[in-house]
Structure 1
């Protein structure tokens, strides 16, 4: 039995892997073997042959940003004639369109706009919740929340608490990139350290909010830095569980590849194989994060479908609108019917979920069946 086989056998036995073992998996070229192990572990967590998705919309409320990430094709510097801030009425209209197709989630994100006061966010959240009390606001990245802290002069805990009280339900994992300061200084020096990102997430967990975690490969990071990224997420999830916060912590892990088109950071795209390996290693290492989400937006529907046999149990959002990743060359658009078809082609049963991963509808072959159970994650 070679080293990789021994590590995978350890994982199948339910034993936790360490950083060195994670690095060895990333260095391996036995991708199908990693995928097989990840699929076994996924089925233990999710024994029903169900793949979930959420009907949601991205609303990029502003593209003004003073973080100037080298890899971003979406932002415009403050004062740019190409910058914008959406009106409240435009945002309300976009949410109404989401509700009209039985959508449940709004992922509202923008740049770190220094000209928006903190009251802009709290007032907007209250207005949204007044009009759409049932919509889930899964919004604002840690970088945006750090900017709110800066302009408000409040503590991080105060900012997170006031956002939550105003109507923010959970935090998306945007801006994680690679949770290592060597890479962060290279690609987004002004975005802060990996600890800055994690502190926001942990402040949210302490407030009883769920969050998700992302990872972007392809910035020139080492295999150790990739494995370390996952370990840091796992450690924070352990802390959430051990302290018994009224939160599920990180409900999902979403890895994807850097999209270099139209950016100031020129690199070759990562291969589909590198993406699938990252998905598989994520499922193997992150034993305390219940869901792995496919990234069909960046990888395309076919690779997204294949990822369902590499440890993913979720197909993400219908993404009714998305401007950040698409600005960098990811152009894949999939509607609800296509998602259902792709999931079925992968041999799974599609199911609509909400942000908390409660199942709302199961799409049996030829019919739609309401389920009154909650997936226990």
Structure 2
């Protein structure tokens, strides 16, 4: 089957679910990786791997959604619950900007105590005080919460954020876009349509966003295919996804920990990444998740279809809450990319190259 998949992938023909399922379950891993790399270079010929200088702070850990995979959130009134003021958040943006960041990925819990003005002020003041920083703020489920609290539609919230100066959205909160999986691990978030509708509305307004996947918990191969199909179909419709970013679930201190005893390892990750490069024929960039999978696996991912390293993540708290910590410097990123045989290049949030390194 690999020869038929190669012919399709290199000639602009779309893979079907049977082929996708085979890639995810039975296909020889090294051959799939080699094909994904071949397809990557057919679509992006330059032997350049991009990265972004960024930070990922959180403005609140207060959340009422009770996702079973999350170790970060605290319920309202919990002694460990916190919500930062606008100025405290902007101090974190200032710290990132001082280290050369061009992107700040800001996200938090679903906190019903925060008004719309909190969010729009964060965007507006980030734009005003730090014009070199892109406010890559608020996941789809956060925007849904803002809409519910402010009694606006999702589109109305997106319009306010656009007016404040926001142009991109992070793709977090997708988990696995399968009805069965989301009912099991995040029933209060709604089904796949909840995440998809926010990104559809955002893309129609001119926002760009990423698409993510968190696998390695209760999903089956067909659930992963549902996810990839949903991303591919929305990209056909609206064309706003810049990249696909998969990573493995970290069970520490979560409600799912008693059910998920072992984290999926590098082989599963590399298979997922390569399959995504082949299946998502309309998503331009595939990101190597060095942070969640480890730096050596990140380097290997560059030979399995990934063309982007991801970010510096000067601050990250969600994985940290699950006892998973990983750090990196710009110098280390460029060295690792070169060691893997590529030319490193710093990019913007939307993948324009700023400089080669």
TM-score range, shorter chain: over 0.9
C-alpha contact 2:241 2:283 (8 A) present in aligned 1: yes
- Matches of 1:78 and 1:97, distance apart in 2: 28
C-alpha contact 1:107 1:138 (8 A) present in aligned 2: yes
**Superposition map of 1:256-295 within 5 A:** 256-266=247-257, 267=260, 268-295=262-289
Match of 1:368 in 2: none
C-alpha contact 2:90 2:122 (8 A) present in aligned 1: no
Match of 1:329 in 2: 323
- Matches of 1:167 and 1:219, distance apart in 2: 37
SS of corresponding position for 1:52:
strand
C-alpha contact 1:294 1:308 (8 A) present in aligned 2: yes
**Superposition map of 1:346-361 within 5 A:** 346-361=340-355
Deviates more, 1:251-260 or 1:78-87: 78-87
Deviates more, 1:296-305 or 1:93-102: 93-102
TM-score normalised by structure 2 residue count? 0.97
Match of 2:68 in 1: 70
Match of 2:228 in 1: 230
Deviations 1:26-46 (A, max 9, x none): 111411111011101111221
C-alpha contact 1:19 1:227 (8 A) present in aligned 2: yes
Deviations 1:128-155 (A, max 9, x none): 2221123101110111000001001111
Deviations 1:182-216 (A, max 9, x none): 00010011111100100000110011000000011
SS of corresponding position for 1:252:
strand
- Matches of 1:122 and 1:156, distance apart in 2: 14
Match of 2:141 in 1: 143
Match of 1:219 in 2: 217
Deviates more, 1:215-224 or 1:249-258: 215-224
- Matches of 2:137 and 2:122, distance apart in 1: 12
Number of residue-to-residue matches in the alignment: 354
Match of 2:205 in 1: 207
**Superposition map of 1:89-128 within 5 A:** 89-128=87-126
C-alpha contact 2:167 2:206 (8 A) present in aligned 1: no
Match of 1:314 in 2: 308
Long gaps (5+) in structure 1? 242-248, 364-377
- Matches of 2:152 and 2:90, distance apart in 1: 28
- Matches of 1:159 and 1:345, distance apart in 2: 44
C-alpha contact 1:297 1:330 (8 A) present in aligned 2: no
Structure 1 runs (4+) deviating above 6 angstroms are none
C-alpha contact 1:12 1:37 (8 A) present in aligned 2: no
Long gaps (5+) in structure 2? none
- Matches of 2:132 and 2:310, distance apart in 1: 20
The CA RMSD measured in Å over matched residues stands at 1.1
Match of 1:11 in 2: 9
- Matches of 1:59 and 1:258, distance apart in 2: 20
- Matches of 1:132 and 1:101, distance apart in 2: 12
- Matches of 1:186 and 1:67, distance apart in 2: 13
Deviates more, 1:217-226 or 1:103-112: 217-226
Which residue of 155, 177, 184 maps to 1:186?
184
Deviations 1:249-279 (A, max 9, x none): 0000000000011111021211210000000
C-alpha contact 2:21 2:222 (8 A) present in aligned 1: yes
SS of corresponding position for 1:215:
strand
Is the counterpart of residue 251 in structure 1 residue 249 in structure 2? no
C-alpha contact 1:252 1:289 (8 A) present in aligned 2: yes
SS of corresponding position for 1:21:
helix
- Matches of 1:167 and 1:80, distance apart in 2: 34
Deviation of 1:59 after TM superposition, in Å, equals: 1.4
C-alpha contact 2:182 2:190 (8 A) present in aligned 1: yes
Deviations 1:229-249 (A, max 9, x none): 1111010000014xxxxxxx0
- Matches of 2:324 and 2:333, distance apart in 1: 17
